[in-house]
Structure 1
């Protein structure tokens, strides 16, 4: 792993979150609370996935406007906000009505020059070294997610951006560079549910992970790994199983899911699927306790 004493230029990355729009309620206002969360990362040597947020913009029927322009960039280690925890990025009053997009402006390194040792968007490893995160689309709009999003008059809407670092952070071939791919999910907090699972088994498994799929959407094609991709690429979210068998699937929409339990070896390499739990339903606001017995 190279030490990041080498300089890299810094530019801003636009992150767009596409959402459906509707007519605004003229003259009235409401409050938007915007948070960030993350799903577990496969690489145990990575101790920080740091995003440095310079500005947050929002787009309504009248175009883009600044939601929050931070005096100093807000640094967020996504790995600190997993298992149903989130980081409140900003809370602002806005005209009530529908909005089409949200975008984050990040402080992020270019491929050719500059200073990557400053505060920015990077990976940190357990040996203390850092590697910058590069974005395949450069300064083009990325990190898009669809959803319905309305700020109610005199009300509050909570929106959480689930940036899935497991799928978003990949090593680019033999280059040694790490990419931050556009994998983010928008969840309206009033529809959020959570699954708190507990796995028991007479077999001692090395390492287990649980992946949540929309009902009926999982197939064995999910195990075909494309270049710069991961297993289970179309999962909604995932959770690591602790030594005592506990796992958490947080910030999922209410609905019905199939859970795929996968075995990994000591190097966190996928081995096999050991169980599929079908038809797991959750309601808005529910924290579902789910016992799972493996063969």
Structure 2
């Protein structure tokens, strides 16, 4: 039985209780069924963790064979800097579109643990509970959201909770069956979702950007994706203009040279991007340009001549901006 099954069983039991459950139902206690469940969780996974959803926050509580002491928490962090803490617990928000390298640094800063510990934990896909189609790589599967982390939580436990949250989002969004219906693998859909997340200035544009990606993939071998976001990921850079040297890169993420999708996600997409990857808008678009980055305006074209006009518009806005 996996962590989500255990949580589901607990929530089912709670539905038949007359009184609201105490926090001890989710945290290790000194007696009864909740304590036994805690021990089962410890034995069920190398990264032992219990996670409880409270509103939009996932509470991550590390477990051990010795009893952990629950602590109250009221602080909330910004998500971009070390989160505010009270009585040992930390709340942080991981935003959509962050690369794994950024997420690990954020978790390190928020918890005070060395980044190297998170990097080592991220390499153990089996302990983290990654789905088989992840191929052991955490990039794209550390789901964005708000997490409350206890001081007993290890890096592996925190990352495992993020994967658990991905599993829940994938189930809610029907990722596996939805991918099959559109003729893609779940990993391909997640890669597309990560591109859509990275390329979108406005979530309302996501279904259209997704359509461009799908249309280009359907036009192989005549067209490559030609995306700056994948190229920059392969170069381990953020933003900036692409040079001729960049375009000559032999990285498998250089979608100017290589056909098809890159080998893996380039960031952690949110639920909107995943939905857009599964359900792109209908349309003939083959190009998109964020013509006004400051205002987040993206325009679409179905011919090269229209695309070049959009590039000219972008250049004008950049010069006058």
The bucket for the TM-score relative to the shorter chain is under 0.3
Return the structure number with greater relative CO, CA threshold 8 A, min gap 6.
1
Structure 2-normalised TM-score?
A: 0.25
Structure 1-normalised TM-score?
A: 0.26
Q: Which has the higher strand share?
A: 1
Q: Which has the higher helix share?
A: 2
